[in-house]
């Protein structure tokens, strides 16, 4: 069923598609995909080229825009835009603690989730593209993990692309997850140092909260167990343009006085559980390290293992001296499947995924070296989530790829920069700058 409706300045159409769970077995089980078409109201009847947006993540549905904010207004000047809920997210046959038991036990769930990486998402795109474009290629805009998908697209099905635009999402083509996190922890430490330089009063605030959590059991209203490691993981917000300010405002109202003594305030706990809970995007936790799996080595809880190589992130040790408590960033750890009630039922499934060694290669370096699709990528200088050196190495591999390296934005530049980021990258794909 297709529904069309309006918002200010735009016409929206809901699309539903049926695709194979395993594209190598097209006669087998199927899943449903949902995507929202957006077109400018004054262009609704025009024959426009398509741009498909691949959301960051993994595990997040496409943005639910109202009107034409951020990059969307620029895109709608010349494109019909498709906001795709990647498989397992949003309205696309969701995968979570409520639905995955339909697959069976943890082993069956883990097998099912092997089909939720970039390669399957790209094959979904190629399945639905002819139905929307009549067979014409389209432009892809990949943000963060969506950029990983775009590079896979260039490897696997470049004939489906008229151009590729990537923002904060050029992956290493051959790095193991261990390599990714060995590069990540120093970047995270730099972001934390910059935060404390901006807000030096937060050093003592974070130490006080960490000390409280080491000495008290705190369970948030939604059942989340707030450990000191979980508190440190709030550093994930530091990768966004406003993240340091958000963290500061969170820390400044952490405690209230009660008859029993100082306690973490209800307001603090409410905001923290919203930031830490994976109830709305459990796939992020389940397959995050799997997006790096492709060399017959298990990921084996890489972020947790590699963290032990950086003892400065040990909050208990920091509290024995006068140093700062370091926050962490975009990493998934086994303890999250104990602290988060949305993930607890999936712990064994996650363990099985971490142990897998049969991941297929995601990128074809030879094909990328022969690329003929116009490609442009924004590489954010010292991006907390995607290593700049890895991105630039990949950029040198992809024939014809043009980079825009900038420190004007953090990882969310395509949103925070309004139309400017997309405008510049499209110009690069057309040799206009």
Q: Supply the residues annotated as catalytic.
A: 144, 358, 411
Closest CA to 354 of 179, 120, 106, 119: 106
The strand pair at 261-264 and 255-258 is best described as antiparallel
Contact 139, 49 (CB under 8 A): yes
What lies within 8 Å, CB to CB, of 326 at 6+ separation is 188, 189, 192, 232, 235, 312, 313, 315, 318
For every residue of 318-377, DSSP letters joined together read HHHTTPPPPP--S---TTHHHH-TTTGGGHHHHHHHHH---PPP---HHHHHT--S-EEE
C-alpha 61: how far from chain center: 10
Task: Report in angstroms the alpha-carbon separations of 402 from 124, 137, 138, 319.
Answer: 27, 20, 19, 46
For the stretch 361-365, contacts whose Cβ atoms lie closer than 8 Å and that sit 24 or more positions apart, written own/partner, are: 361/294, 362/117, 362/118, 362/119, 362/148, 362/152, 362/155, 362/294, 363/151, 363/152, 363/155, 363/171, 363/173, 363/174, 363/294, 364/155, 364/156, 365/173, 365/174, 365/397
Distance from C-alpha of 80 to C-alpha of 69, rounded to nearest angstrom? 15
C-alpha 345: how far from chain center: 22
């Amino acid at each position: 069923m297709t529904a069309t409706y309006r918002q200010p300045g735009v016409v929206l159409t809901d699309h539903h598609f049926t695709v194979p769970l395993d594209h190598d077995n097209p006669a087998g089980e199927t899943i449903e995909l949902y995507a929202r078409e957006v077109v400018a109201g004054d262009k609704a009847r025009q024959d426009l080229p398509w741009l498909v947006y691949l959301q960051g993540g993994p595990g997040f549905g496409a943005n639910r825009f109202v009107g034409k904010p951020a990059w969307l207004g620029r895109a709608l000047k010349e494109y019909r835009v498709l906001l795709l809920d990647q498989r397992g997210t949003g309205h696309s046959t969701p995968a979570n603690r409520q639905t995955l038991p339909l697959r069976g036990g943890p082993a069956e769930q883990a097998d099912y989730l092997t089909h939720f990486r970039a390669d399957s998402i790209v094959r979904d795109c190629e399945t639905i593209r002819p139905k929307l474009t009549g067979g014409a290629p389209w432009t892809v805009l990949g943000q963060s993990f969506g950029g990983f998908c775009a590079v896979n697209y260039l490897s696997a099905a470049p004939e489906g692309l008229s151009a590729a635009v990537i923002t904060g999402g050029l992956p290493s083509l051959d790095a193991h997850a261990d390599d990714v996190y060995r590069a990540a922890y120093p970047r995270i430490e730099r972001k934390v140092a910059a935060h404390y330089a901006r807000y030096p009063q937060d050093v003592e605030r974070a130490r006080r909260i960490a000390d409280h959590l080491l000495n008290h059991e705190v369970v948030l209203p939604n059942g989340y167990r707030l450990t000191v490691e979980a508190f440190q993981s709030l550093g994930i917000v530091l990768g966004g343009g406003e993240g340091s300010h958000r963290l500061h405002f969170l820390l400044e109202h952490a405690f209230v006085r009660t008859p029993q003594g100082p306690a973490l305030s209800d307001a603090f706990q409410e905001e923290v559980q919203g930031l830490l809970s994976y109830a709305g995007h459990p796939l992020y936790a389940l397959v995050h390290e799997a997006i790096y799996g492709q060399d017959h080595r298990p990921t084996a809880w890489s972020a947790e293992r590699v963290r032990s190589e950086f003892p400065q992130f040990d909050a208990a040790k920091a509290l024995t001296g006068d140093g700062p408590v370091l926050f962490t960033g975009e990493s998934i750890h086994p303890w999250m499947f104990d602290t988060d009630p949305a993930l607890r039922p999936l712990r064994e499934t996650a363990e099985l995924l971490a142990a897998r060694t049969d991941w297929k290669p995601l990128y074809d370096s030879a094909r990328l070296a022969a690329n003929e699709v116009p490609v442009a990528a924004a590489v954010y200088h010292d991006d907390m989530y995607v290593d700049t050196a890895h991105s630039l190495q990949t950029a040198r591999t992809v024939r014809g790829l043009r980079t825009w390296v900038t420190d004007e934005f953090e990882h969310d530049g395509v949103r925070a920069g309004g139309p400017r980021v997309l405008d510049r990258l499209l110009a690069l794909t057309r040799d206009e700058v």
